[in-house]
Amino acid sequence: MTPKTDMAAPRPSLLTLVSITGVGALAMNIFLPSLPGMARDFGVDYAVMQLSVSAFLGVSAVLQLLCGPVSDLFGRRPVILGAFSIFLVATAGTLLAPTAGWFLFFRMLQAVITVGFVLSRAVVRDMVPAENAASMIGYVTMGMSLVPMIAPTIGGVLDESFGWKASFATMGILGSVVLVVCWFNLHETARGAGVPLRQQIATYPQLARSHRFWGYALAATLSAGAFYAYLGGAPFVGQRVLHLTPAEVGYWFAAPSLGYALGNFLSARFSIRIGMNRMILAGAIICTIPLAIALLIDIIGNQTPLIFFGSVAVMGLGNGMLLPNANAGMMSVRPELAGTASGLGGAMAVAGGAGLAALAGAFLHDEAGAAPLLVIMVTVSAGSILSTLWVMARERQLLRQG
């Protein structure tokens, strides 16, 4: 079944596409300052409630692989409308859940909103020529970079004023608004069937045999994993270790997003001049050093919000330099498999992040301070340095052979 496109239909507006990505970003982290309080309300350990982050990411990783081929078959519009409808049902479920188990079930179902991240970019590629797509995609994904800066702050204020359910009610209200906007403004843009999932999977072994692909993919997965571990553990550290209120945790949560925005600017400005691999290596080092310093300070016993969240802000800067170049590196290994490489690499990063977020939640407890979280973050950041050095060594070897 190939989706039909009405060539006379108006294009969806840029605001519609930004809204689609923005709701997904909001759903990922608006409630994070409430996690310790939610654990108390449901009568479970923090590690159990933290699964609302890691399980959400795990389901998102699978959906990132599936939603593109599904939308090629059935069309962008019905898949996006269906995803938002399921999201609203799941959001109602989180508000009515009587136990932590039911809450986590509906929270995992909420991960369907990930479809918006992937398909908003696909809609852009449908509408405009390749040479113009990058610029428009930059505007569309703005929601993914700007919303995380403010969402936890809003969530913290909502928690203090109305309780943790206010954040999920906000998700539902905004999701409903965007669903209505999509119903009237998101017309079908797919012009034909894309690469079927079976054909994509058939190309995975070609990428799996490439040392360079694995090097770039591991660098991206480990570097992003440090951030996902932070998402899983920072609410606990902020409230239980640093004794901040939910609103204060929300304010500090903007730190990595601000650093990431600056890192993206530096990447766009200097990657061509400095070189892709050197930018990746510089980003990995910038991620690792401040986290290691924060870990040493925590061991000494002088941890403060400025030191902890400041080190994470610098980590965000390094991620902003590393991730765009590592993603470009993955797609450059086999240019004819660029789409497959991007999807597989993205799924690896999110799946790895889910595991690390769960690991962070499992090791955190009141007596340990921030050290378990920082150990995880330092370890995986250092791993991204090794992965980058592996790629550089492999390229030098290929040059000598060629």
> Domain boundaries in the chain?
1-194, 203-402
Query: What is the CATH code of the structural domain delimited by 1-194?
Result: 1.20.1250.20
Please give the biggest Cα pair distance in the chain: 66
CB 210 within 8 A of CB 1: no
Residue among 110, 111, 115, 112 at smallest CA distance from 76: 115
Second-level CATH architecture of 203-402: Up-down Bundle (1.20)
**How big is the chain by its Cα radius of gyration, in Å?**
21
Q: Give the angle 268-272-273 at the CA atoms, nearest 5°.
A: 110
Token pair for residue 359?
A: 């690991």
Predicted local distance difference test score (pLDDT) of residue 336: 60
Q: Whole-angstrom Cα distance, residue 313 to residue 255?
A: 5
* Short-list 75, 345, 39, CA closest to 213: 345
The pTM of the whole model exceeds 0.85 = no
Over residues 132-190, the pLDDT tens digits come to: 554 566 566 655 666 777 888 899 899 999 999 999 999 999 999 999 999 998 888 77
Q: For the chain, list residues with pLDDT below 50.
A: 2, 5, 7, 130-131, 134, 193
Looking at residue 270, its pLDDT comes to 84
Answer for the pair 21, 223: CB distance below 8 angstroms, yes or no.
Answer: no
Q: In degrees rounded to 5, what are phi and psi of residue 43?
A: 70, 40
pLDDT at 387: 93
pLDDT at 140: 65
pLDDT of amino acid 201: 67
